A and B are shown apart, each in its own frame.
Chain A
Amino acid sequence: MSSTFNKADYVKKDLPPLLTKLAYGLTAIGLILVVLAYLTDHTRSAYNNVVLLMFLISIGLGSLFLVAIEYLGGAVWSTPFRRIAEFLAAILLIVPIVSIPIFFNLHELYHWMHHEAVVNDPVLKGKEAYLNLKFFTIRVVAFFSIWILFYYFITNNSKKQDSTGDVKLTKVNTKLSAIFIPVFAVTLTFSAIDWMMSLEAHWFSTMFGVYYFAGIFLGGIAFITVLLVYLNEKGNLVKGLVPDHYYSFGVFMFGFVNFWAYIAFSQYMLIWYANLPEETIWFIHRWEGSWVAVSLIIIFVHFVIPFFALVSQGSKTNAPKLKFMAIWILIAHYIDLYWIVLPVYSPKGAVFGWIEFGFMILGFGLALLVFVLKAKNNNLIPVGDPKLQRGIDFRL
Chain B
Amino acid sequence: MNEKILYAYSALFNTPDKIIHAAKTIAEKGYKKYDVNTPYPLHGMDHAMKLTKSKIGWVTLVFGLSGTLTAVTMMGWMMAIDYPVVIGGKPYFGLPAFGPIMFELSVLFAAIATVTALLTLFLKLPNNSHPIHDTEYMKNVSSDKYGIFIEAEDPNFNQNEIDALFHQLGAEKIIPIYYEEEKINFKPKMFDKKFLGFLAFAGILTSLLVYGTMNKLLYIPPFSWMSEQNKFIPQHTSKLFKNNSDMLPPVKGTVARGNLPYNFKNQPEKAAEFLVNPLLPTEENLKLGKTKFNIYCSPCHGYLADGKSRLRGNFPEPPTLHSNKVRNWSDGRIYHVIMEGQNVMPSYSRQLSEKERWAVINYIRVLQRSFNAKESDLL
- A residues contacting B by CB (< 8 A) are 1, 244, 265, 268-269, 272-273, 275, 311-314, 394-396
Closest Cβ neighbor of A242 among chain B residues: B47
**10 residue pairs bridging A and B, Cβ less than 8 Å apart:** A1-B21, A265-B99, A268-B96, A269-B99, A269-B100, A312-B57, A313-B57, A394-B43, A396-B43, A396-B46
Size of interface on B: residues with Cβ below 8 Å to A: 15
Do the beta carbons of A311 and B97 come within 8 Å of each other? no
Pick from B43, B88, B90, B96: contact of A395, CB under 8 Å: B43
Closest Cβ neighbor of A394 among chain B residues: B43
Pick from B46, B53, B61, B88: contact of A275, CB under 8 Å: B88
Do the beta carbons of A396 and B97 come within 8 Å of each other? no
Decide: A272 near B57, CB < 8 A? Known: A395-B43, A396-B44. no
Residues of A within 8 A of B61 (CB): 311
Decide: A396 near B47, CB < 8 A? Known: A265-B99, A275-B89. yes
- Segment 23-43 of B: residues with Cβ below 8 Å from A: 43
- Cα–Cα distance between A236 and B106 once the two chains are bound (Å): 43
Do the beta carbons of B53 and A269 come within 8 Å of each other? no
Interface string of B3-31 (1 = CB under 8 A from A): 00000000000000000010000000000
Residues of B within 8 A of A244 (CB): 47
Do the beta carbons of A272 and B43 come within 8 Å of each other? no
Do the beta carbons of B53 and A395 come within 8 Å of each other? no
Taking the closest CB of chain B, its distance from the CB of A292, in whole angstroms, is 15
Interface of B is mostly: helix
Residues of B within 8 A of A311 (CB): 61
- Cα–Cα distance between A244 and B100 once the two chains are bound (Å): 34
- Cα–Cα distance between A251 and B61 once the two chains are bound (Å): 16
Decide: A273 near B97, CB < 8 A? Known: A395-B43, A396-B44. yes
Residues of A within 8 A of B97 (CB): 269, 273
Taking the closest CB of chain B, its distance from the CB of A45, in whole angstroms, is 35
Do the beta carbons of B53 and A313 come within 8 Å of each other? yes
Do the beta carbons of A269 and B57 come within 8 Å of each other? no
Given A269-B97, A275-B88, A313-B53, 6 further pairs, Cβ under 8 A: A272-B90, A273-B97, A275-B89, A311-B61, A395-B43, A395-B47
- Segment 60-78 of B: residues with Cβ below 8 Å from A: 61
- Cα–Cα distance between A133 and B38 once the two chains are bound (Å): 63
- Cα–Cα distance between A312 and B57 once the two chains are bound (Å): 7
Taking the closest CB of chain A, its distance from the CB of B91, in whole angstroms, is 11
Decide: A395 near B57, CB < 8 A? Known: A268-B96, A272-B96, A273-B88. no
Do the beta carbons of A395 and B44 come within 8 Å of each other? yes
Residues of B within 8 A of A313 (CB): 53, 57
- Cα–Cα distance between A275 and B86 once the two chains are bound (Å): 14
- Cα–Cα distance between A275 and B46 once the two chains are bound (Å): 52
- Cα–Cα distance between A269 and B89 once the two chains are bound (Å): 14
Taking the closest CB of chain B, its distance from the CB of A79, in whole angstroms, is 15
Taking the closest CB of chain A, its distance from the CB of B339, in whole angstroms, is 62
Closest Cβ neighbor of A270 among chain B residues: B96
Residues of B within 8 A of A395 (CB): 43-44, 47
Closest Cβ neighbor of B47 among chain A residues: A395
- Cα–Cα distance between A276 and B53 once the two chains are bound (Å): 50
Closest Cβ neighbor of B17 among chain A residues: A1
- Segment 290-337 of B: residues with Cβ below 8 Å from A: none
- Cα–Cα distance between A1 and B96 once the two chains are bound (Å): 52
Closest Cβ neighbor of B97 among chain A residues: A273
Residues of A within 8 A of B43 (CB): 394-396
- Cα–Cα distance between A275 and B100 once the two chains are bound (Å): 18
Closest Cβ neighbor of B94 among chain A residues: A272
Closest Cβ neighbor of A269 among chain B residues: B96
- Cα–Cα distance between A314 and B97 once the two chains are bound (Å): 34
- Cα–Cα distance between A145 and B265 once the two chains are bound (Å): 106
Closest Cβ neighbor of A262 among chain B residues: B103
- Cα–Cα distance between A395 and B43 once the two chains are bound (Å): 5
Interface centre among A272, A311, A394 (most CB of B within 10 A): A272
- Cα–Cα distance between A311 and B100 once the two chains are bound (Å): 20
- Cα–Cα distance between A314 and B52 once the two chains are bound (Å): 11
- Cα–Cα distance between A394 and B61 once the two chains are bound (Å): 28
- Cα–Cα distance between A268 and B43 once the two chains are bound (Å): 41
Which are the 4 A-B pairs with shortest beta-carbon distances?
A: A395-B44, A269-B96, A272-B96, A395-B43
Residues of B within 8 A of A394 (CB): 43
Residues of B within 8 A of A275 (CB): 88-89
Residues of A within 8 A of B96 (CB): 265, 268-269, 272-273
- Cα–Cα distance between A205 and B89 once the two chains are bound (Å): 22
Residues of A within 8 A of B44 (CB): 395-396
Interface centre among A268, A275, A394, A396 (most CB of B within 10 A): A396
Taking the closest CB of chain B, its distance from the CB of A390, in whole angstroms, is 10
Taking the closest CB of chain B, its distance from the CB of A363, in whole angstroms, is 32
Residues of B within 8 A of A312 (CB): 57
Residues of B within 8 A of A396 (CB): 43-44, 46-47
Interface centre among A268, A269, A312, A314 (most CB of B within 10 A): A269
Residues of B within 8 A of A268 (CB): 96
Interface string of B76-114 (1 = CB under 8 A from A): 000000000000111000001101100000000000000
Residues of B within 8 A of A1 (CB): 21
Taking the closest CB of chain A, its distance from the CB of B78, in whole angstroms, is 18
- Cα–Cα distance between A182 and B56 once the two chains are bound (Å): 39
Closest Cβ neighbor of B98 among chain A residues: A269
- Cα–Cα distance between A28 and B7 once the two chains are bound (Å): 71
Residues of A within 8 A of B53 (CB): 313-314
